[in-house]
Amino acid sequence: MTSTRPSKVLVLGGGYAGIMSANRLAGSRGAKAEITLVTPLPHFVERIRLHEVAARPGSESATRFSVRSLLHPSVRLRLGTATRIHPAQHQVDILDTTSGTSWVEAYDKLIYAVGSGETSDNLPGVSEHAYTISSIERAHALRYRLDALSAGASVLVVGGGATAIELVTEIAVARPSLRLAIVTSSVIGPTLSPMARAYLRRARAMRTVEIVENTPVAEVTATGVTTRAGEEMAADCVVWAASFGVPSLARHSGLDVDVAGRLTVNAMLRSPAHWDIVGAGDACVITDTNGANLRMACATAAPQGAHAAAVVTAALKGRTPEPFALAYLVLALSLGPGDGLVQRTGPTTRPATRSCGGGQVPGSTSSTTATHASSSVGNGCEQAPTTGRSRPGSVDGRSELMVDHDPPPPPSPGADPGRLRTRGEGMQLRCPKEVRACWRPDSRQGSGQRRRQQPQGGEGTLPMGDDISVDDAVRAFDAARPRLFGIAYRMLGSVGDAEDIVQDAWLRWQQTDRNVVRDPTAFLATTTTRLAVTAATSARARHESYVGPWLPEPVHISADPAARAVQGEELGLALVLLLQRLTPTERAVYVLREAFDYPFRQIAEVLGLTEANARQLGRRARMHLIEERHEPVAPADHSRLLHTFLAAARSGNLAQLEKLLAEDVVSYADGGGIIRAARAPIIGRTSVARYIAGVVTKFGRDVSLGFVESNGEEAVLASRAGSGVALCTIDASATGIERVLIILNPTKLARLATSWLPTPAR
């Protein structure tokens, strides 16, 4: 009898390749598989942005994300480090990174995507005296060291590739008082064309950086470095950004590896001796001609992760997989905030004859290589409907860049950069801002016309500046964006949905004849409100099918510029929750009137109503909220009640808890079907007191409790191993605590977990 047991697919690694492959497998049809992803840490870090974390504070929230929030809900996540693979037994020994215990994980198919990190090449003194940005913790250590340096102190960056360039330029802009130098064994930017390298040298951030080329370093000391020629180069801080290495797992497991320890795979990404093991990302290398020109980069890892999933899916269905093939299009480098460089490449990463760079790239921070995968699964991203190709031209003997279709408008200023959702329905990738900034809108040409960009400047670089009219549009949108976010968030109760609405408003703004718009803020607010009303209708249907009670996503006002700009208006979780019970139009009237003080005449114009109808809807909305909620207590009383509430819950004092609660108190717990939580609200003073005491006991002693700000109010954050696992806040009136709101859904905590700095509860 044939077994119908689902195949066990084990993914080792929670980086670009691992998460991509797990999500693609979870989203594939017809492949019955139980997918487990094992990764050492609960968070995913965009390593290509760690130079920002090292150079300036406030960058971590855009760099670090909960792995759970990026994974498809059906993917099982376990925290651990693989110590040995037993291919004959189809088992992996894993060390639990939280408890220190070990377990054995069985598999039918294994995806090896353990990634890479910086290595010292066994150079003396690197581990003792040099800083790196190989992890977010090490990036923090470097930032603390830079903070401790006085004006005029010297920083020496070892390396000449993308990591070194982006780090030194970021430091140059963020800390102009430091003396910077970069030393490399070859030339700076060895993969760049002479034209692009010339632009790099004269970039604004590089003007104060001393460049030392063709000088290999032999040793790092406490006072600097020693070159192979015996020369001493003094520095107060040395940063190593010269080379990458991979874990020794494959070598220790007896698998075929190259001299660097990377798992060797064939064109189908399979280990030649063990076809049930598929490699993806930095820790593997294709041994035939298909892999000769592939770099260790996220631009390679993400497409390989997608293809690894396709290989496993094909095997589970009894089909022959396609070989992996990848062609690079451009290399994008950040040269500090506001500047960047895009180098066009051939399919093998060899520099093409064209590059573009400029100092007018708003918020340019990401170092990413744009790619196109010619494999059967594509590159894992929805691509913009644009095509570009070089043709022989007559402009100084150089080629011209032909754009066959108008690209879509770039993402809105200040928004989370260019989110492209993968077809695997879990992971979100960011497309490079530098690449998007190469497009310059031209209002004189229609969308159906072909637009030609001519090279400008004596050395063939294309400036990235925008037309004046576009600059005005960007400034107008920037000024209105906090209000737009405030409207959308109150309407929808979701940060992600609110950002999507603001993004849609930006696209409408780009497509509008702005010469006929008298009041940009009014136009944008009207557009945002109408989009939010439409979105609220579908959101209500999602809430009805939600597993258990639905609660709004919390906003950390002090860490979110858009939310901080509207913190004067009421933004509490309880109110946002109650707003969702109004009809979308009632909600819009209430938000515009109460939160932003719009006159009813203007509200009527925004929503296409009569003024009398707008007044009636506003009155009805207020009456509904008054029926649902008593007058809330002052912030100081709210804070006092919360502290007393937590103390009573931790001590298990049910009598004290009941004294704090209103008679008809209701407790809501939002686990989203991911974390076990009460599927229905708990009602009544006695029931809620017992439930809260039980929840605190259930978390155990390994959870730390602290106070944080959420939605402008104090809340309690429960953390385990540095990651938030629950957020609790209360809604109180003169009668006591009327609502207890507990958010357990990790997807709602992930966005803000890295920016919360809890005050420990005593």
Instruction: Note the pLDDT tens digit of each residue in 155-203.
Output: 999 999 889 999 999 999 999 999 999 999 989 988 888 888 888 998 8
Task: Give helix 495-511 / helix 520-544 axis angle, nearest 10°.
Answer: 140
**Per-residue model confidence (pLDDT) at position 4:** 67
Structure tokens at 594: 């109460």
Q: How far apart are CA 15 and CA 377, in angstroms?
A: 19
* Span(s) in the chain for CATH 1.20.140: 469-628
Report the C-alpha gap between 218 and 472 in whole angstroms: 52
What CATH fold (topology level) applies to the domain 126-244?
FAD/NAD(P)-binding domain (3.50.50)
Nearest to 604 by CA among 595, 594, 616: 616
CATH architecture of the domain formed by 469-628: Up-down Bundle (1.20)
Instruction: For the chain, state the CA radius of gyration.
Output: 28
Query: Using 50, 70 and 90 to split pLDDT, how confident is the model at 445?
Result: very low
pLDDT value of residue 557? 64
Please enumerate in sequence order all residues whose Cβ is within 8 A of that of 585, keeping only pairs 6 or more positions apart, or say none: 533, 607, 609, 617
Residue-wise pLDDT tens digits, 231-247:
999 999 999 988 777 88
- Provide the 10 A C-beta neighbour count for residue 445: 12
Q: Which two tokens stand for residue 159?
A: 């390396």
Using CA atoms, how far residue 121 sits from 27, 94, 118, 127, 655, in Å, is 40, 27, 9, 10, 64
Q: Is 709 helix (H, G, I), strand (E, B) or coil?
A: strand
Q: Where in the chain is the domain with CATH 3.50.50.60?
A: 7-116+246-323, 126-244
Among the four given CATH numbers 1.10.10.10, 3.10.450.50, 3.40.50.450, 3.30.460.10, the one describing domain 635-760:
3.10.450.50
Question: How far out from the chain centre does Cα 706 lie?
Answer: 25
Kindly report, as residue ranges, where domains of CATH 3.10.450.50 are found in the chain: 635-760
What does the alpha-carbon distance between residue 1 and residue 666 come to, in Å, rounded to a whole number? 53
pLDDT at residue number 547: 82
Burial of 88 (0-12, 13-18, 19+ CB in 10 A): exposed
SS3 labels along 123-162:
CCCHHHHEECCCCHHHHHHHHHHHHHCCCCCEEEEECCCH
For the structural domain made of 7-116+246-323, what CATH number should be given?
A: 3.50.50.60
290-348 pLDDT per residue, tens: 566 677 788 888 899 999 999 999 988 888 888 888 877 778 888 988 888 887 776 55
Instruction: List, for residues 61-75, the tens digit of each pLDDT value.
Output: 667 888 888 898 899
403, 453 contact by CB (below 8 A): yes
**CA atoms within 13 Å, Cβ hemisphere of 411:** 22
The 10s digit of each residue's pLDDT in 95-139 is: 987 677 889 999 999 999 998 876 655 788 888 889 998 888 888
